[in-house]
Amino acid sequence: MGDVAVGARSGHDGEEHRGRPAESAVPAADSAVTSGSDSGAAEDDKVTGEHTTAEGQGPGGTARTPKKPRSFWKELPILIGIALVLALLIKTFLVQAFSIPSDSMQNTLQQGDRVLVDKLTPWFGSEPERGEVVVFHDPDNWLAGEPTADPNALQTFLSWIGLMPSAEEKDLIKRVIGVGGDTIQCVGTGPLTVNGKALDERSYVYAGNTPCSVDDQGGKFKVKVPEGYIWVMGDHRQNSRDSRYNQSDKNHGMVPVKDVVGRAVVVAWPINRWSTLPVPDTFDQSGLNAQPNAAGLPVAPQGIALLGVVPVVLWRRRKP
């Protein structure tokens, strides 16, 4: 720092640079910009302004006109079209709303309730399980004699996009009691048994109903469910035309799994009845799944899987 100060005072140094104004002007300009003086600020503004004007010009030096945004009313049909396509895809592959037309599932479901049905998991091979509430297509004219709705144009459109259930589709909703391989029996007023295990159905059977009905039309039965079929019953046992009362049809009262639309998972409407539809605890009791091993296996497949996992767990525990 001292050497620079001495050089600035030296007349000899001034002689060396005399006659070279171009070189002496460069440091002066640099000093002005660095110090933030007014002249430097003006220079900066000039450069910035020229740059902005150049960017705003279009080809040939003409001013570029900004693109006018599309009006809301022009975009509205596009948005509606996208929404309709999404609704149709959701209805077809994911979830669909269904209306409860009768009292056969009271008090779990009331007439007029709207339920959301999971249609996705069956695409991945999921099949109905005991205790689930499922929607299925009419297997063999179970709805004979039932009144048919006559929807207006708006209801037809809303049902097409999945916001309302279709009046043309003849669908029913019941609870799965037995699946392929199960033996189901009703003697007297009950209890209902599955594979010899009595079900405690007080949590979902309509108050005042008996689990089994005493009549000669199907209320007393003993059936074995074939593979690929399910046996269904309504929760309002004395007011449900279900598998019991359709044993004379081509499926002997069974519902083909292929006719199942999906599992009802949520009561979505009305708001004050919003609730989920879980599987009752009685279907989780031990021994309910006990069935003869078709291949003569000494243990269940879950036991084989457990035996395969144990060595891996022990090996991981021994690792340092």
Residues 269, 270, 276, CA angle at the centre, nearest 5°? 55
Give the model's pLDDT for residue 91: 61
Q: What is the pLDDT of residue 169?
A: 64
- pLDDT of 174 strictly over 90: yes
CA separation for the pair 163, 114 (Å, rounded)? 10
pLDDT computed for residue 149 by the predictor? 60
- Res 73: pLDDT: 77
Residue in this structure with the two tokens 């060396």, named with its chain if needed: 16
Examine the pLDDT at 117 and tell me if it is beyond 80.
Answer: yes
Q: What does the pLDDT read at residue 243?
A: 97
Higher pLDDT, 214 or 301: 214
For a pLDDT cut of 90, what percent of the chain falls above it? Answer: 43
Which of residues 178 and 21 earns the better pLDDT score? 178
Q: What pLDDT was estimated at residue 122?
A: 75
| Confidence (pLDDT) at 286 | 87
**Mean pLDDT value of segment 59-83:** 69
Q: Which two tokens stand for residue 53?
A: 């004007």
Reading the block at residue 111, the tokens are: 């007439």
pLDDT at position 98? 86
Residues labelled catalytic: 104, 174
Compute the distance between CA of residue 210 and CA of residue 202 in angstroms, rounded to an integer. Answer: 9
Of 38-47, 81-90, 121-130, the range with the lowest mean pLDDT is 38-47
Rounded mean pLDDT of the chain? 73
Mean pLDDT of 146-153: 64
Residue 23 falls in which region: left (phi positive, over 0), alpha (psi -120 to 50) or beta: alpha
Residues 267-306: pLDDT tens digits? Answer: 998 999 999 999 999 999 988 885 544 333 333 333 333 3
With both helix axes pointing from N to C terminus, report the angle between 21-35 and 38-55 in degrees, rounded to the nearest 10: 90
- The pLDDT, as a whole number, for residue 173 is 95
Give the model's pLDDT for residue 99.
Answer: 85
Sketch out the chain's domains with CATH numbers.
77-283 (2.10.109.10)
- Neighbour count for residue 142 (Cβ, 10 Å): 20
- Tokens read off for 214: 């005493």
Predicted confidence (pLDDT) at residue 214 exceeds the cutoff of 60: yes
Q: Is the pLDDT of residue 226 over 90?
A: yes
Q: What integer pLDDT is reported at residue 158 of this predicted model?
A: 67
Q: For 36-45, 52-61, 88-97, 277-286, which range has the lowest pLDDT when averaged over its residues? A: 36-45
Does 63 score more than 70 pLDDT? no
The secondary structure of the chain, three-state, reads CHHHHHHHHCHHHHHHCCCCHHHHHHHHHHHHHHHCCHHHHHHHHHHHHHHHHHHCECHHHCECCCCCCCCHHHHHHHHHHHHHHHHHHHHHHCEEEEECCCCCCCCCCCCCCEEEEECCHHHHCCCCCCCCEEEEECCCCCCCCCCCCCCCHHHHHHHHCCCCCCCCCCEEEEEEEECCCCEEEECCCCCCEECCEECCCCCCCCCCCCCCCCCCCCCCEEEECCCCEEEEECCCHHHCCCHHHHCCCCCCCCEEHHHEEEEEEEEEECHHHCEECCCCHHHHCCCCCCCCCCCCCCCCHHHHHHHHHHHHHHHHHHCC
